[in-house]
Amino acid sequence: MATPFGAESTTEAVLEGIDLRGKTILVTGVSAGLGVETARALVAKGARVIGTARDLAKARAATDGVRAAAASGGSLELVELDLASLASVRACAEALLRKAEPLDVIIANAGVMACPEGRTADGFETQFGTNHLGHFAFVCRLVPLVRSGGRIVCVSSAGHRFADVDLDDPNFERTTYQPFVAYGRSKTANVLFAKALDDRLRSRGIRATAIHPGGIQTELGRHLTPELRAQISPPGGAPFKFKTVPQGAATQVWAAVVASAAEVGGRYCEDCHVAEVTADPAVRGGVRPYALDAKRADALWAKSEAMVGDRFTFG
């Protein structure tokens, strides 16, 4: 299916003519950047959005414009979730399960990037623990709420090209920590998680996909030093072109409620289209083959279950 959208498409363009009244969409990370814009765009089209944030006071201040944009019955509810704490993940998921309100879409948007070496509350390397394991434990718990015909969108990154997952040393206990290698591992994990979810949920009519929003100057880049920025645009390479926030949020909105499920299910999308699979390091776009490898996805699933101490099966 060809798409009329591209790298410069905005959330407004992607959602033109779309009516989301009656839809309930959960978005993680609505205290800044892409999460706020995603929530705003969806609420403006009539969706009920449940937005998660680690800091609710910050999220309330950041989402004034979301509430102001609400139309056609759209609304925003904020709930507390710290993806770097399995206790918080479980508490938030359990509260939502008690309400038993069906979800049409989950957009796993929250994340951290290229931060100094650190550990989550449960001792996981910060980026892998927050970007992947937190979402893994949270989303899997919420699968019973997702309606047939629903979708799960995992926000990954072109940064997955920095590194494949390391299932033998996910916490850098034997490997020298490098911020972008850790980021790459976590973003590859996001793609593999979407692949594994899609394989497990397709028979229930639920599809999962991973997306790259593009480079956007948001709080996500708070840890980028000049040296780390040079790794994004190496000498002699084409200058890195940043997107606006509405352009960056467009692909996850497109994958969630505009593109056909058959088109995006189990795939990796960028610039509002399904990306080509390529191993060519000279190609800036596309997705690396290792990020969509089914055996690798299953191995990561098993490793993730062991790390978080849970097993997830979907009948």
Distance CA 3, CA 273 (A): 7
At the topology level, CATH places domain 11-308 in Rossmann fold (3.40.50)
Distance CA 67, CA 284 (A): 37
The answer on pLDDT for 46 being more than 60 is yes
Mean per-residue pLDDT, 150-167? 97
CB count in 10 Å sphere of residue 92: 21
The answer on pLDDT for 220 being more than 90 is no
CB count in 10 Å sphere of residue 54: 18
112 Cβ contact partners less than 8 Å away, ≥ 6 residues apart: 126, 127, 130, 131, 220, 223
Mean per-residue pLDDT, 157-170? 97
Question: What is the model's pLDDT at position 235?
Answer: 45
pLDDT digits (tens, 9 = 90+) for 176-203: 999 999 999 999 999 999 999 999 999 9
- As annotated, the active-site residues are 183
Indicate the angle between helix axes 179-201 and 294-308, nearest 10 degrees.
100
Contact 87, 121 (CB under 8 A): yes
User: Which pair of structure tokens corresponds to residue 309?
Assistant: 């101490």
Could you give the C-alpha distances from 20 to 83, 101, 185, 272, 309, in angstroms and in order? 27, 16, 34, 19, 37
Q: In a 10 Å sphere around its CB, with 0-12 CB exposed, 13-18 middle and 19+ buried, how is residue 17 labelled?
A: exposed
Q: What is the pTM of this model?
A: 0.93
Q: What percent of the chain has pLDDT over 90?
A: 88
pLDDT digits (tens, 9 = 90+) for 271-287: 999 999 999 988 889 99
DSSP H helical ranges for 8-114: 11-14, 33-44, 56-62, 64-69, 86-99
Distance CA 175, CA 116 (A): 15
Candidates 32, 30, 28, 51; CA nearest to 138 is 28
The answer on pLDDT for 21 being more than 60 is yes
